[in-house]
Amino acid sequence: MSRKSVFLVAVTVVMLYFSIILFMLSPLHGAKSSYYGNNYMNHFGYRQTPQVQWCKELKWRSPPAPKVTALASFPGSGNTWLRYLLQQSTGIVTGSIYMDYGLKLHGFPAENTTDGSVLVVKTHGAPPLDTYKFDAAVLLIRNPRDAILADFNRLFKGHIGTAPKYAFKRRSNNNKRSDWATHVYQQLREWEVMHQKWLTQFPGPIHLVFYEVLVRDTRTELNAILQFLNHTVSEDDMDCTILNKEGIYRRKNKHQDFDPYTADMYKGLEQVRQRILRLVNEYQKKNNVTVMRKA
């Protein structure tokens, strides 16, 4: 191999290395600069770390709790925001079965931690085949219309960004359907299966939370979740959490004049949503769960 070839290979490796580092340090994978201020750390384009105002210093459970609770939700249902609220109110870190470097560096140091040292463990999947993985679960349910749209936005612009309008019309590989339409129908099937499995197959206790109700009455719903987790917080801690409840982890609705869903899509969304709501009612009756407020 010639010296020139060796040099080019070396340059490529170095560029790849720094690209990986930049990716890992990029806040929330595509977040808008307005969330972090307009200044940049240097000419490489690092954005400033988002300043999360924590109500108390975050810590791991010590000693670890004997039971592990899942925080289960379909992608786009507000899992990250609820983790943020739980960390604000308790000061205890929340874990995840995933490793999201953007979240790890910006408020969630226990990414990829799944034991009793964390308050809850994030998962977007169905209940694990290993029934000893989780002892209990908080199931966060969001209207599939909004969850599917939020996840589509995440695929394009990260945890708090919004996909551009042209993304909803794009077609790949000469498909008759747009990428957006393909995404909707595929994700809608997965939304139903994921919730159906948690409601019918998970052997442990489940605390059901509707995202829309959590937004509408954050204090009441958060207190109910903490009671399920057998964790109490002071009124001062809860007041601080509510004061800072928006944080930086909720996506703003950028295209308020734009609805990407068709009439046929809405019909399918509502049919699936009603089937899951019936399962929710059946779960509550079977397990003698107090009737929850629905969205």
Q: What is the pLDDT of residues 137-196, one digit of tens each?
A: 999 999 999 999 988 887 765 545 566 666 667 777 666 778 888 889 999 999 999 999
Residue whose C-alpha is closest to residue 123's, from 223, 202, 231: 202
| Least confident among 23-32, 47-56, 179-188, 205-214 | 23-32
d(CA 259, CA 219): 31
Q: 209-244: per-residue pLDDT in tens?
A: 999 999 999 999 999 999 999 999 999 999 999 999
Identify the three-state secondary structure at position 67: coil
- pTM for this one? 0.79
97-102, Cβ contacts within 8 angstroms, sequence gap of 24 or more: 97/121, 97/122, 97/123, 97/125, 98/122, 100/29, 101/23, 101/24, 102/24, 102/26, 102/27, 102/28, 102/29, 102/158, 102/159
In a domain, 19, yes or no: no
d(CA 283, CA 275): 13
pLDDT for 106 equals: 85
CATH of the domain at 154: 3.40.50.300
Count structural domains, the chain: 1
In a domain, 207, yes or no: yes
Identify the three-state secondary structure at position 201: helix
In a domain, 257, yes or no: yes
Give 115's pLDDT tier (boundaries 50, 70, 90).
very high
Q: Please state, for a pLDDT cut of 90, what percent of the chain lies above it.
A: 58
In a domain, 44, yes or no: no
